[in-house]
């Protein structure tokens, strides 16, 4: 079908656009700006599509991404990882000509270091305070004593703008069912609104209130008091999200094309040239979808082969077998040298192994889009 060296990362443009349009419509319906998290896509072309009809603001997870997207014309970027002190100068160097890289802090020492360095460099910064609404990865709880103190530490420099509050409801990935995810979304919204009001009561304008996760963005019922949302995985989705119920299998927009390199009929398995590096070793989808293995096997038209999974991986080998281990594999469908497509467990980690997308529509290969990696 496509003359690609394998393993190769394939992006279905029709499914991508459908996913982007659905999330854009959802944000607009809730009167929110969509500031998509591009840590999944890491592509200027996808970023432009994802921000259409919105302000053009985006979210990134590395400063290398920030530099790449600035080169691509983006001007309002939130770096949504706690700011390490040794990266303050790098952020300062990226800004200029109306380019902002909004930064994130959740403690007084980091806030003071940012304020002090802002004055030393003579550079203005915009800072969010990270709020922990239940994930417990990072951030201050909405009622934390230090919340106002962090804002006051940032305010020690007139060059630092306390932009607002930001959260990531990562615990939505552990919720079971739409109602449970909706409850997490409400917890996230409520926590952010409480934190923002505390800051306003202390004299800070706090214009931005920013939740962000794909499951909560899909199932949240109200975002009253919020100004934007920052989902990312929704662009591609994956098997984990399908098992969680935030998408269907047919919504998964990325797949890995692999070549069959061996048959082991005595063991009822075959081997492909996509292993741990090409697919990742993330097995999280097995928590939401029984027998997901390391990826769902499809034919080259993208149709799942019933019951067939990548059941194990070594560095460059994927072991393809039936999920229950008992039913015989359809070896005749996959002769040596034939190709298949694998839907990933976690699209963010799978895509990270590649430097480009091979963009397809139906049976046609229509484009190549580069992507950025690294920190």
In b/e form, how buried is each residue of 227-236, taking b as 16+ CB within 10 angstroms?
A: bbbbbbbbbb
Residue closest to 359 by CA, chosen among 4, 60, 53: 4
Give Cα 151 distance to the centre of its chain. 28
What strands lie across the sheet with 76-82, from one edge to the other?
58-60, 76-82, 100-105, 125-130, 160-166, 208-210
Q: Name the pTM for this structure.
A: 0.96
DSSP 258-288: EEEEEEEGGGTEEEES--HHHH-S--GGGGT
Q: Do 268 and 329 contact (CB within 8 A), yes or no? A: yes
Ordered per-residue pLDDT tens for the chain, 375 residues: 789 999 999 999 999 999 999 999 999 999 999 999 999 999 999 999 999 999 999 999 999 999 999 999 999 999 999 999 999 999 999 999 899 999 999 999 999 999 999 999 999 999 999 999 999 999 999 999 999 999 999 999 999 999 999 999 999 999 989 999 999 999 999 999 999 999 999 999 999 999 999 999 999 999 999 999 999 999 999 999 999 999 999 999 999 999 999 999 999 999 999 999 999 999 999 999 999 999 999 999 999 999 999 999 999 999 999 988 778 999 999 999 999 999 999 999 999 999 999 999 989 999 999 999 999
Residue 326: the pLDDT is 74
CATH fold for domain 13-235: TIM Barrel (3.20.20)
Start and end residues for every CATH 3.20.20.10 domain found in the chain: 13-235
Kindly list the distances between the CA atom of residue 371 and the CA atoms of 46, 47, 281, 354, in Å, as whole numbers in the listed order: 9, 11, 21, 8
DSSP 169-222: -GGGGG--SHHHHHHHHHHHHHHHHHHHHHHHHTT----EEE---HHHHHH---
SS3 120: helix
Query: 63-98: per-residue pLDDT in tens?
Result: 999 999 999 999 999 999 999 999 999 999 999 989
Residue closest to 189 by CA, chosen among 227, 137, 136: 227
d(CA 140, CA 16): 35
CATH of domain 249-370: 2.40.37.20
SS3 44: helix
Start and end residues for every CATH 2.40.37.20 domain found in the chain: 249-370
Q: Do 260 and 336 contact (CB within 8 A), yes or no? A: yes
d(CA 354, CA 352): 6
Residues written for the chain: 375
Beta bridge partners of 100: 76
Residue 327: the pLDDT is 86
Q: What is the DSSP letter of 251?
A: G
Q: Do 208 and 164 contact (CB within 8 A), yes or no? A: yes
């Amino acid at each position: 079908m496509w003359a690609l060296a394998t393993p190769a990362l394939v992006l279905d443009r029709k499914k991508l656009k459908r996913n982007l349009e659905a999330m854009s419509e959802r944000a607009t319906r809730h009167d929110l700006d969509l500031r998509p998290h591009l840590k999944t896509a890491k592509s200027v072309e996808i970023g432009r599509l994802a921000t259409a009809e919105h302000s053009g603001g985006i979210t990134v997870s590395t400063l290398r991404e920030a530099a790449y997207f600035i080169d691509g014309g983006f001007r309002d970027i939130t770096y949504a990882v706690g700011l390490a002190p040794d990266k303050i100068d790098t952020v300062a160097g990226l800004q200029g000509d109306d380019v902002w890289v909004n930064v994130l802090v959740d403690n007084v020492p980091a806030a003071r270091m940012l304020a002090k360095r802002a004055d030393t460099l003579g550079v203005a910064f915009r800072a969010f305070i990270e709020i922990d609404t239940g994930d417990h990865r990072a951030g201050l709880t909405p009622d934390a004593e230090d919340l106002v103190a962090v804002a006051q530490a940032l305010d020690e420099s007139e060059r630092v703008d306390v932009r607002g509050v930001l959260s990531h409801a990562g615990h939505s990935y552990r919720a079971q069912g739409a109602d449970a995810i909706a409850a997490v979304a409400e917890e996230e919204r409520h926590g952010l609104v409480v934190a923002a009001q505390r800051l306003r009561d202390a004299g800070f304008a706090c214009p931005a209130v920013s939740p962000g996760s794909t499951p909560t963005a899909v199932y949240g019922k109200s975002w009253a008091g919020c100004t934007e949302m920052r989902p990312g995985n929704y662009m591609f989705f994956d098997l984990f999200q399908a098992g969680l119920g935030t998408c269907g299998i047919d919504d998964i927009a990325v797949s890995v094309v692999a070549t069959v390199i061996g048959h082991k009929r005595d063991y009822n398995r075959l081997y492909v040239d996509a292993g741990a590096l090409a697919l990742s070793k993330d097995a999280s989808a097995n928590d939401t979808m029984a027998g997901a293995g390391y990826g769902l096997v499809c034919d080259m038209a993208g149709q799942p082969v019933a019951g067939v999974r990548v059941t194990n991986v070594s560095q460059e080998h994927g072991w393809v077998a039936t999920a229950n281990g008992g039913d015989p594999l359809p070896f005749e469908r996959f002769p040596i040298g034939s190709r298949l497509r694998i839907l990933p467990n976690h699209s963010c980690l799978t895509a990270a192994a590649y430097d480009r997308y091979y963009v397809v529509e139906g049976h046609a290969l229509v484009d190549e889009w580069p992507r950025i990696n690294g920190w």
